[in-house]
Structure 1
Amino acid sequence: MSDCVEVQRLDAVWVMRLNRPQARNAVNLETAQALAAALDALDADPELRIGVLTGAGGNFCSGMDLKAFAATGERPYVGNRGFGGLCEKPPAKPLIAAVEGYALAGGCELALACDLIVASREARFGVPEVKRGLVPGSGGMLRLPSHIPYHVAMEAVLTGDFFDAERLHQLGLVNRLAEPGQALDAALAMARTIADNGPLAVRTAKSIVSQSRNWRPEDRFDLQRPRIAHIFVSEDAHEGATAFAEKRKPVWKGK
């Protein structure tokens, strides 16, 4: 694993920290490859239930490393995972963004690719690509309109201006606000709550919620039915009901 991404296992939580503070955690190809590897490790390890993505040095991520792009044309894309090794193929397990400081351009798109966002009250988000003659092609134009009102998303994309975390919390993009310096702790608290739940149910629920937004209303239950049938005959479902009846904490097997 590259030094560009630090990883840490905290029981069932897998913490991934972008580690280029001298560049506000701008993503170069090495960082993208390291993050892709860390995400593969999250999905491959049955003992890990959820991931948290954050940044070192008081910032989340300032986007693509423009110096590397200008010098060599380097683009930090990894196979079918896209920008940063994440934006086009998030992990099967839930992922929380813990945002301090700036989450800009590709950095904002990394946060958007996560399932939940916890941010410092002083965090700033933005997709300022148009100010550099570019467009936010790694999810900014696609995900923002489905997460915040259309006209606000259009303002963000066309002006390239920054938005503070408090406003985005009001609009529903940011799940929880934290005091400055406490975003990771708040994200870990949320992660541990999720990690205590049935892992098979959590993965299935994430899949349905993320996919079903594109389903036609008349097809939704027919499409959902085969995707959740395994849940009701799983060992975890039996364990959850038994633990409830016995007034004890469930012991999940993930199957």
Structure 2
Amino acid sequence: MSNDLRQLSAGVTLQYVAAHVAWVTLSRPKARNAVDDDVALGLEQAVAITETDVDIWCTVLTGAGEQAFCAGADLRMIAEGEAASLSTPSGGFAGFVNQPRQKPWIAAVNGYALAGGTEIALACDLIVAAEHAAFGLPEVQRGLVAAAGGLYRLTRAIPRALAIELILTGEHLSAQRAQQIGLVNHVVPMAELQARALALAQRICANAPIAVRESLTVARAAFDHDDRALRQISSHAMRTVANSNDFKEGPRAFLEKRPPRWSGT
């Protein structure tokens, strides 16, 4: 696995930073990493690469610089009537928020994550935030609607009344408050953000990758199905894991008192 930096588009880079961990960066710092057509195409490609590369088990997504994770949609393009190019047919906004993904993604929020930036972070599975990070859906302040999943994902992620207040006022949520209400997993100084996000990714990658993916599938489905359907999804996940080589390796390693050697097969 190469550590070379790959320029997927003018607005997105991908790098393999550790065993089984990919690092994707939104690289438009002068525009606060706002989503344009290049970002949408690059993020869609990043998902395709990380999903198909068997050596990648977890991906970290961040923004370039220390000012912003992502300021949302590039309003210049919206004003010029080019809003459609900020989405892709399969991925939705930023080529990402609706893109099916089996593997876990961690948002390393290095500054403001507003509007579509919050929606991108919400579409990830875990969030690590710098102390100065902030979240919010200010679309109503601009005559817009947070139509890239933010309205329902935020309402699922935090208490309903608070989510509705944030949605209707467009006010920002600090990283510290976001952690208190369960939106953010960890808040750290900016200097520690990359290390903490990478450590979390590596902790995930210490586990059996197929078991991680199947567990994540069930957890993601929790809000979308009743208990009967979820039992079926869970049973399917168990059958998939039981047919893997790692299903035998885990107990064997435990009995032999050694670290497991996961194959991902």
What range describes the TM-score normalised by the shorter chain of this pair?
over 0.9
Greater alpha carbon shift after TM alignment, 12-21 vs 205-214: 205-214
Number of residue-to-residue matches in the alignment = 255
The answer on 1:9 being equivalent to 2:19 is no
1:235 to 238, 241, 245: 245
Greater alpha carbon shift after TM alignment, 7-16 vs 104-113: 7-16
**Could you say which residue in structure 2 is the equivalent of 1:69?**
78
Counterpart CA distance in 2 for 1:156 and 1:111 is: 16
**Could you say which residue in structure 2 is the equivalent of 1:33?**
41
Maintained 8 Å contact 2:215/2:237? no
Question: How far 1:251 moved relative to its partner?
Answer: 1.4
Q: Unaligned regions of 5+ residues in structure 1, if any? A: none
Maintained 8 Å contact 1:104/1:127? yes
Question: How far 1:67 moved relative to its partner?
Answer: 0.8
Counterpart CA distance in 1 for 2:218 and 2:233 is: 9
Question: How far 1:156 moved relative to its partner?
Answer: 1.0
Question: How far 1:182 moved relative to its partner?
Answer: 2.2
- The secondary structure found in structure 2 opposite 1:80 is coil
Maintained 8 Å contact 1:5/1:16? yes
**Could you say which residue in structure 1 is the equivalent of 2:219?**
209
Counterpart CA distance in 1 for 2:245 and 2:228 is: 31
Q: Unaligned regions of 5+ residues in structure 2, if any? A: 1-7
Counterpart CA distance in 2 for 1:184 and 1:3 is: 22
Maintained 8 Å contact 1:29/1:74? no
Counterpart CA distance in 2 for 1:116 and 1:190 is: 9
- The secondary structure found in structure 1 opposite 2:80 is helix
* Cα deviation code 1:155-197 (max 9, x no counterpart): 1111011110100100001011111232222111100000111
When residues 233 and 71 of structure 1 are mapped into structure 2, their CA distance, relative to the original with a 3 A threshold, is closer
TM-score under structure 1 length normalisation: 0.96
**Could you say which residue in structure 2 is the equivalent of 1:44?**
52
Maintained 8 Å contact 2:10/2:38? no
AA aligned opposite 2:34: A
Counterpart CA distance in 2 for 1:9 and 1:177 is: 24
Counterpart CA distance in 1 for 2:136 and 2:246 is: 41
1:83 to 81, 90, 93: 93
- The secondary structure found in structure 2 opposite 1:96 is strand
Counterpart CA distance in 2 for 1:159 and 1:168 is: 16
**Considering only aligned residues, what root-mean-square deviation do their CA atoms show, in Å?**
1.2
TM-score under structure 2 length normalisation: 0.93
**Could you say which residue in structure 2 is the equivalent of 1:18?**
26
Counterpart CA distance in 1 for 2:191 and 2:112 is: 13
Maintained 8 Å contact 1:123/1:165? yes
1:91-130 map, 5 Å? 91-130=101-140
